[in-house]
Structure 1
């Protein structure tokens, strides 16, 4: 709609359809179709098969887009793009190289969002949060051993068992516990349980004072022994939670201070596993407790399972109960059983809470430490936010959403553990696993990939990618290339793929001046869904700003962002396979198996629905709204048919001579004013991308102004007057203007209908989009005609009401069987504008407006000649003047 409206207004439109072709969905579909596991194929085999799958899907979607009426050069490979195309991949790698040169890309071992179901790290944009996730949270204890605090030390000396009470929703992370965090400014209570329940009796617990009353169902009745500030707890030693198991680690751990601890939930003490919590990691890093990759305890493998490394903490015997079990399933239950075995489990609570899921597999994710590549956003986010100041947003509130997401991010995890994607071309030293990623190495690697394609990264030998300097270093060590170095296997986040799409614009000639110099700055419009504030909108901005040279001002890759909502079912529910409420666009167009329940509406009705809704909000679709759209479509189509059926006069005769405005009647001048006003409304709607404004204005005009009024009152003239009569020619003149404007106004939304009308009317084999839209001249703006007709319309309403009463009483079948007398009192003010109008205009316009056989303007209550058998009377009030309306003296026509 955007492209077609700009084209009609005489602009050149540069639109290149594109497809994101990499990533997990394509890889999974490929493996599923082949019926094999990822481990059964080589990377090159997977890539070849995945490319075939992606190419097939692209062709399928091309066909669907054509059906929808999307206008593009679908047959040209130069006018479409795929992220798997060699040129596209190389542009993406050059962007990556520029970010490397600016020091924005680094590798780090730290907790990231990880999807066991995808076997890959995920970015925040690839997560969806579900509010109904169920976890089995646990309240567990840690035994205190010693404290630097004199007050707490005396309590420890006087009590046999003093424990920290901690709550966590991820019991599987307790094997990786490296500390317990408290808030230094919170007050903590030392309480003794007086419960008779085993495990609680006479045990002393430490919890936040503000949480004590919320823990009644956990601790039961307690006796408060004292209070200590959180700062006194810092440095206190405690025994590892699994320290009593055979061969388990017994090295004491410490309580650490942290501001992320609150008294809003839990116990006011937080179990810290830096491998599985971003805040935990940041606390330990800030305190200098993380000095190398080995200092983080992590016992979770690639499939989200406990690894054998867990034996170092809990001992080999206990490890047998956990190893190879999923931490999200049976592994979590086994960890809880171990807690029970060591006597540190106080209570299990089933809770329903908000939890992140992998949006591709719809399975829960975990936070776990892995070595990943990151983009540093702290160094560019200010430039990115400044660049957004030049961007317009529809709706305006979406600016706040995007800016908030950019402000809240400090890094972007850009690596994925898949093979179907663009490689991160990093080399590693075999002996140290040190990554080599710099501009010099990338220059050499990218020159090889430019020549042989990105697939060569997996199939080629490592020596192909080693620049001379690294080859010499290997020789100096007495090693061959494959002994000294190996290639990384990570691929780039698909958001980096799609986020590089802006880079093709200069190459494709957008914004070049007369000398052929690239003058590109941005795309005029970038359109996507509200979920892309976390995804594509961000990745485009960040890659554009991140790859800009130091000498350049960082610019946004787009001039305007348009955000649309999501499509819901007719009841306002999210569509899902489980609910069985998915509405397929192709089913709307072609119909379902049962055409009575799911009729074939065609593409234009689906497009009209899309134009009618406020797309910047979530919108519902279903049988009712589609039926309404179909009715609106029929009104527009029938309006065009009425014009076409009456404009041509008699077959074989030349076109009728048009009537100039000065010779048109008030009714025709009024309709032309309404048409001019409509055009201005539609032009404004298209220019501001408010398609609902356009669609609703068109629907109202065709349904009310034309169908219910103008077409109704002109039928007699069109059917009965001489073909070349002045009155009929005036109506036909207006019909031609209506059809011309209506065709152009509806064309962006209803292109198939517009082309049908154009072909029927012009018959020259051209497209309606091949000639610009020339809106009506301002001469057709006629406020005076609008004011005068408004008075007549106010008078018409009670007249039609009385006619309807006569029809209901079966006095008449048609209004043409009646006449109307308008009684204007003799003492009516002569200076009243309406009084002068109705006396001077005469009765012809009244007969037309009322669609009656006769109308009279009289100055007394005496009815018109003919001795009517019955009458209906009413009154009509206008400002400063009162009329008594006798519609009619109804009588049978002579």
Structure 2
């Protein structure tokens, strides 16, 4: 037998059938339900002999209210049950990246948590014990700022302990609000305080400090005074991962002349006799850094030339840039170019005067200088740029670097007594304008223009940052990045393209600034010599300090006397110490969370099976988690803290725009669940529709969300629900225990075909869940319920279900198939639609309150892997398509009202495969075609009021002729089929019944 395809293409018949004979729960059983109308009161009515669907399973109600009875069962209770009852040796760990404990949840949170929950529930269904501990990131600037707002104070004047106490209250309040909202999504977890982790927990903070201690032991943590990203709006240093880039930032770009004080021998030799000494021309987009200028850098290998303007001023620029600068109007009209050139190496030894200093400054060599833009000479302020700092240090320049800029990004009095007009002005605002004004007054401003370019912003405050030299703590990543990249080789990525992105971010980083100038956070417990400012941060000092903080709490770092933190080895030397005030980067906070999983001792090896977060975490949590874990790995084989990384995109509106309150395009997950003020515009969909949306989108990319998208998800859910309702209505729980087991070899083609399609659904869903392709699961379920069930199998089986004897073989087989479908369907949709699955399970087992997840995944037996049934049915359905088309044409001519008024005559030329199938299945063809009778072969009576034109179809070597004509006999008043043995209208009701219905009614009456 051939291997089963992953998904059988459905014949055109099934694809078009929904439009022709689509089924809903009651709407298309008119030939039965009419007996419940006016005829129901007649003594001749057979309504009470029909087994019409009956269930209290609602088609649609207030979703949020309908889900509530099952919420606790499928979340908290289910998590506790599986943790207590499943085998610890089969533990699956999904490690939760902690969301920030600030503000209401948005649909990005919903997408993230729901995707995680789908994965967890799938593993519960497969008998695994799932460890999932929801977390929160609780430290950092936004919470501290909110605390200060509530205190109506300033960080410079309010005591640190007061700020920390208020910040803790803010974080706890925000966490409670977010926790309640997360629970409404139907997230399976232990939501009690013990079941969650928070980076403000005492145990977490101590564990984090021990991670820091291990990194100090490895020699990875050092302190330097150098330029770092500084956020004036946050008043803190930032790491690269805390930046976002704005592509159209506006800056004032200036060309500035720096007058040469003394020429190098090579430059002096090149200049014409009696010519004036030129100036060095630089171009910069940060004029505010010029007061910090300490050198001009040139590339030793670039050629430079001197350009003289009409006003007699001359400038040194890169020779290859001279023409572009002239075309830009920098030199004015008709400049004169000295034909000789000089290399950058020849300019070394030249000194110049800075606009804001009296001492001469040098020309330095630097490889980072290019002639691709600007002038080929770079104004160098070591306090305000890493490359400037590196060039300054590499040439062993002496003296402290100039940095007349404070924590708030304002000029200080270090700018010099001559320039008091700059003091207190913001370098990114009025201070920048004032510097340009001073340059103009001195005659040194050659040109000014406004440009738009890419510029770094603080990702929290959304305001621009600067480079500023400060003393900070750094992690040396050059020592561990090779190990980190090696560890990633064993990690699976979904999508695979995310691997390259994370690897690129790690390769590009050489260090990580881990210190922050904030109060609300975990302290960097360093001691500073009160006289020299020398720092003490060693494994031994940390061992002592962590011991103190473990006993008295991390707040004691701010409360306790410094003497308590001095390790015994340092107490006898008479030095005076003070406590450091820096706190640890929040990315270090959340990045230490792998140690929580490690210390739980759940398993050896990789700590987490899966981590799933947004694409922005490649530069955030995915990195910090990896880097801290690898830093603490002492063995030769580096190991990532996760086995699989899954990335999802951002949630955008229908037009692909980011959701924001200012644009008015925000859709809150709470509104999706409970509805908005105007329920017509914003209906209450419940959690399952929100979850279905999350499973339907191609989450590896940015995804869209709109009311139209939600309405579509609701319709998909309604159809699945309708299919479940149909089955529940036809399979009462009282009859379930009396049903025989299915014997596959005795089943007809229809049942074998449907069960094989069920097999395809279950195996396909199994594979899709295993590869995190939830979109494929939803598509498969939708296709199965719409095309295989609703518009095909249900429509065909209604006569059997409603009109057959309750204990008849055909009906019992149909019920067995339906129940198997419902069990599998419930299992397949349960990870995505847990409330619906629980509701189905509760109605199916009315006396059982256990969760649908307890029995586990419903596997379809391999015996239902019946490829031959698929192939045979596809041939039958090819003929069915012709029959349905012919019926529709006759109906349009008003020659019949119902398909049951017709019969179908089929003749087959050639005694091959098709003939055998139709002869074997001829007893079921009338049901398959939804007509009263089908004849295969034989002589066709030519005397009838009407008939369709003969239609032919060629399948292989056989020719099938199809003709539709009126049914013989009369209509049965019970099942509405037209049969030859039904009596005429003049006879009694009982005599007018078809033979099948007579037998059923008689058996019921007995």
TM range, smaller chain: over 0.9
Q: 1:78 aligns with which of 194, 199, 214?
A: 194
2:593 is the alignment partner of 1:501? yes
Does the Cα contact within 8 Å between 1:423 and 1:491 map onto a contact in 2? yes
Q: Is structure 2 residue 918 aligned with structure 1 residue 838?
A: yes
Q: What CA distance in whole angstroms lies between the structure 1 residues aligned with 2:407 and 2:834?
A: 51
Shift in Å, 1:820: 2.0
Retained in 2: the 8 A contact 1:569–1:620? yes
Instruction: Give yes or no for the alignment of 1:847 onto 2:847.
Output: no
Cα contact 2:345–2:365 (8 A) shared by 1 = no
Residue 152 (structure 2) pairs with residue 35 (structure 1): yes
CA contact (8 A) 1:147 1:153 kept: no
8 Å Cα contact 2:354-2:361 kept in structure 1: no
SS in 1 for 2:672: helix
Aligned to 2:239: 123
For the pair 1:190 / 2:303, whether they are aligned, the reply is no
Aligned pairs for 1:363-374 within 5 A: 363-374=463-474
Q: 1:267-306, aligned counterparts within 5 Å? A: 267-289=375-397, 295-306=400-411
Q: Relative to structure 2, which stretch is displaced further, 255-264 or 368-377?
A: 255-264
Aligned: 1:146 with 2:262: yes
1:593/1:257 CA distance change after superposition, 3 Å: same
Instruction: Name the residue aligned to 2:633.
Output: 548
Q: CA deviation at 1:233?
A: 4.4
Question: Which residue of the other structure, out of 31, 41, 50, is the alignment partner of 2:167?
Answer: 50
Q: Please report how far the alpha carbon of residue 562 of structure 1 lies from its aligned counterpart in structure 2 after TM superposition.
A: 0.9
State the Cα deviation string for residues 683-707 of structure 1 (Å, max 9, x = none): 1111111111111111111122111
Partner SS state of residue 832, structure 2: coil
Instruction: Compute the displacement of 1:374 (Å).
Output: 0.3
SS of equivalent residue, structure 1 residue 420:
coil
Contact preservation (8 Å) 1:27, 1:46:
yes
For the residues of structure 1 that align with 2:151 and 2:755, how far apart are their CA atoms?
64
The change in CA–CA distance for 1:167 and 1:386 in structure 2 (over 3 A counts) is: same
1:105 to 215, 221, 245: 221
Structure 2 residue matching 1:320: 3-state secondary structure: helix
Q: Does 1:561 align with 2:641?
A: no
Q: Offset at 1:98? A: 0.9
For 1:238 and 1:745, how far apart are their aligned partners in 2? 77
1:301-700 equivalence runs, <5 A: 301-311=406-416, 316-317=417-418, 319-474=419-574, 484-511=576-603, 519-549=604-634, 551=635, 553-648=637-732, 655-700=738-783
Secondary structure at 2:642 match in 1: coil
CA deviation map 1:839-865 (0-9, x unaligned) = 3322x33212221122222367x4x46
Give the Cα separation in 1 of the matches to 2:935 and 2:340. 99
State which drifts further: 274-283 or 675-684. Answer: 274-283
- In 2, the alpha carbon distance for the partners of 1:346 and 1:807 equals 88
SS at match of 1:537: helix
Residues 833, 277 of structure 1: alpha-carbon distance in 2 compared, 3 angstrom cutoff: same
Alpha-carbon separation, structure 1, partners of 2:960 and 2:928: 18
Out of 146, 162, 165, the position equivalent to 2:278 is: 162
Quick check: 1:866–1:891 contact (8 Å CA) kept in 2?
no
Distance 1:426 1:824 in 2: 93
Q: CA deviation at 1:648?
A: 1.9
Q: Do the aligned residues in 1 keep the contact of 2:947 with 2:964 (CA within 8 Å)? A: no
- Once residues 781 and 575 of structure 1 are traced to their aligned partners in structure 2, the CA distance between those partners, rounded to angstroms, is 47
Contact 2:648-2:700 at 8 Å conserved across structures: yes
Output the CA distance in 2 between the equivalents of 1:658 and 1:150: 101
Shift of 1:156: 6.6
Q: Mean alpha-carbon deviation: is it higher for 335-344 or for 845-854?
A: 845-854
- Cα distance between partner residues in 2 of 1:660 and 1:233: 95
Greater mean deviation of Cα atoms: 155-164 or 330-339: 155-164
Larger relative contact order (Cα-Cα within 8 Å, sequence gap ≥ 6): 2
Structure 2 residue aligned with 1:10, among 92, 102, 127?
127
Matches within 5 A, 1:223-234: 223-234=336-347
Superposed displacement of residue 891, structure 1: 8.1
Distance 1:33 1:156 in 2: 70
Q: Please give the alpha-carbon distance, in whole angstroms, between the structure 1 residues aligned to 2:791 and 2:785.
A: 8
| Inter-partner Cα distance in structure 2 for 1:530 and 1:766 | 38
- The alpha carbon displacement at 1:835 in A equals 2.9
1:202 Cα offset (Å): 3.1
Q: 1:209 to 1:833 in 2, by over 3 A?
A: farther
CA-CA distance at 1:95 after TM superposition: 0.7
Deviates more, 1:620-629 or 1:229-238: 229-238
Distance in 1, matches of 2:543 and 2:809, equals 79
Q: Shift of residue 15 of structure 1?
A: 0.9
Q: Is the 8 A contact 2:593 2:625 kept in 1?
A: yes
Counterparts of 2:272 and 2:834, CA distance in 1: 82
> 2:362 pairs with 226, 238, 254, which one?
254
Counterpart Cα distance in 2 of 1:524 and 1:8: 17
Point out the more displaced range, 850-859 or 624-633.
850-859
Residue pair 1:193, 1:204 contacting (<8 A) in 2 also = yes
Q: Which moved more, 1:851-860 or 1:464-473?
A: 851-860
Give yes or no for the alignment of 1:240 onto 2:350.
no
Counterpart of 2:318 in structure 1 is: 208
Q: Secondary structure at the match of 1:142?
A: strand
Q: Distance in 2 between matches of 1:467 and 1:659?
A: 77
CA distance 1:211–1:881, shift in 2 (3 Å): farther
Contact 1:241 1:344 in 2 (8 A): no
Q: CA deviation at 1:443?
A: 1.3
Task: Report the secondary structure of 1:769's partner residue.
Answer: coil
Change (3 A) 1:858 1:170: same
TM-score by length of 1: 0.92
Would the alpha carbon gap of residues 578 and 240 (structure 1) be closer, same or farther in structure 2, given more than 3 Å must change? farther
CA displacement at 1:882 relative to structure 2: 3.0
Structure 1 residues 466 and 881: CA distance shift in structure 2, 3 A: same
SS of the aligned residue for 1:824 comes to strand
Residue aligned with 1:239, SS: strand
User: Which digits, 9 at most, give the CA deviation of each residue in 1:159-209, with x for residues without a partner?
Assistant: 325222221111101111122222223233322234xxxxxx332223223
**Secondary structure in 2 aligned to 1:135?**
strand
Native 8 Å contact 1:449 1:457 kept in 2: yes
Against the structure 1 CA distance between its residues 466 and 850, is the aligned structure 2 distance closer, same or farther, given a 3 Å change threshold?
Answer: same
Please give the alpha-carbon distance, in whole angstroms, between the structure 2 residues aligned to 1:461 and 1:432: 20
Distance 1:784 1:704 in 2: 20
CA contact (8 A) 2:261 2:353 kept: no
Structure 2 CA distance, aligned partners of 1:822 and 1:168?
Answer: 87
Cα–Cα, structure 1 residues 890 and 876, in superposed 2: closer, same or farther, change >3 Å? farther
The Cα offsets for residues 465-497 of structure 1, whole Å up to 9 and x where unpaired, read as 1122322212xx6xxxxxx11000000000110
Between the aligned partners of 1:523 and 1:652, the Cα distance in structure 2 is 46
Structure 2: distance between partners of 1:70 and 1:402: 28
SS at match of 1:255: strand
What is the aligned residue count? 850
Determine the C-alpha separation between the residues in 2 that align with 1:720 and 1:157: 117
Q: Hey, what does 1:481 align to over in structure 2?
A: none
Q: 1:756-808: CA deviations, max 9, x gaps? A: 11111112111112222241111111001011111122222232222222233
Comparing 264-273 with 334-343, greater Cα deviation is found at 264-273
* In 1, Cα distance between equivalents of 2:881 and 2:155: 74
**Does the CA-based 8 Å contact 2:886-2:948 persist in structure 1?**
no
Matched, 1:858 2:974: no
Give the deviation of 1:287 after TM superposition: 2.2
Instruction: Pick which of 257-266 and 48-57 moved more.
Output: 257-266
Distance 2:169 2:738 in 1: 57
